[in-house]
Amino acid sequence: GAVVSQHPSRVICKSGTSVKIECRSLDFQATTMFWYRQFPKQSLMLMATSNEGSKATYEQGVEKDKFLINHASLTLSTLTVTSAHPEDSSFYICSARGRGGTEAFFGQGTRLTVV
Amino acid sequence: AQSVAQPEDQVNVAEGNPLTVKCTYSVSGNPYLFWYVQYPNRGLQFLLKYITGDNLVKGSYGFEAEFNKSQTSFHLKKPSALVSDSALYFCAVRDLAGGDSWGKLQFGAGTQVVVTP
């Protein structure tokens, strides 16, 4: 299957700082990318969807000014958590789907801890 | 609106025994159905999908799933479970008639599979 690389796998940051998470499709062009948040022992909560070159579409209740998503190219999307707070600590996962593709492929996830 | 239900929080099975993880769905149109597996602190790995065609779908690592339209189910099965199959399993659906051009997936709550030696 297609490979999606997410970096970093773990990050610890101080309250008030910003953190950037990268999601790259390594062997296909990702026309659509999704960002999820997962709480312990819970399902994935979709945060936003982005198409290359377009602004991201955020799910209800997700603050777009806090979770900045950039889908700058067909192989790269970034999620920036701005002014992070301890309640933002979570597991963040990206997924990507190619043009005409039926299934999405997932990154390895990023464990964010805000102290 | 689309939804997915995984009625079991956890399934326990002895190694070598058959494994079944249940999933039912609700969509307004025809569904795309998927199974993913997640190991601790990792992303999701794609196991298999149903798009159209044969109701019995074979996937990775010996898993298969059967699409049952009348029962709106897509249960995941493996004839002989391994200890290494212990993980969190997610069923997901994409509603083709939902008017969602992005093709968003709706995930079930997940089922923890525990395979004991």
Q: What is the DSSP string of A61-94?
A: T--TTTEEEEEEETTEEEEEE-S--GGG-EEEEE
* Residue % of chain B over a pLDDT of 70: 94
Which tens digit of pLDDT belongs to each residue from B7-61? Answer: 999 999 999 999 999 999 998 888 899 999 999 888 899 999 999 889 999 999 9
Residues from B in contact with A at Cβ < 8 Å: 32, 34, 36, 41-46, 49, 51, 90, 102-105, 107-110, 112
pLDDT of residue A12: 97
pLDDT for position B12: 98
CB-CB neighbors (< 8 A) of A41 in chain B: 110, 112
Query: Could you report the per-residue pLDDT of A67-110, keeping only the tens digit for each?
Result: 999 888 889 999 999 999 999 999 999 999 988 888 889 999 99
A106 at B interface, C-beta within 8 A: yes
B49–A106 C-beta distance less than 8 A: no
| Mutation choice for A interface testing from B45, B46, B60, B106 by most A CBs within 10 A | B46
Supply the mean pLDDT for chain A.
92
Helix (H, G, I), strand (E, B) or coil at A44: strand
Can you give the pLDDT at residue B101?
Answer: 59
Token readout for B71 is 């029962």
Task: Name, in order, each residue with C-beta under 8 angstroms of B44's C-beta and a sequence gap of 6 or more.
Answer: A44, A93, A95, A106, B36, B37, B38, B90
Residue B103 has pLDDT above 80, yes or no: no
Is residue B1 scored above 80 in pLDDT?
no
Higher pLDDT, A98 or A22: A22
Give me the total of CB pairs closer than 8 Å, taking one residue from chain A and one from chain B: 53
Rounded to the nearest integer, the mean pLDDT of chain B is 91
Residue B85 DSSP symbol: G
CA A81 to chain B, closest CA, distance in angstroms equals 19
pLDDT number for residue B82: 97
CB contact under 8 Å between B104 and A49, yes or no, is: yes
pLDDT digits (tens, 9 = 90+) for B41-56: 888 999 999 998 899 9
Q: Which amino acid is at B95?
A: D
| pLDDT of res. A76 | 92
Residue A109 bridge partners (DSSP): none
Query: Would you state the torsion angle of the CA atoms of residues A51, A54, A58, A59, taken in this order, to the nearest 10 degrees?
Result: -40
Structure tokens at A107: 């990154």
Backbone angles phi, psi at B85, to 5 degrees: -80, -5
Q: Hey, are the CB atoms on A34 and B34 less than 8 Å from each other?
A: no
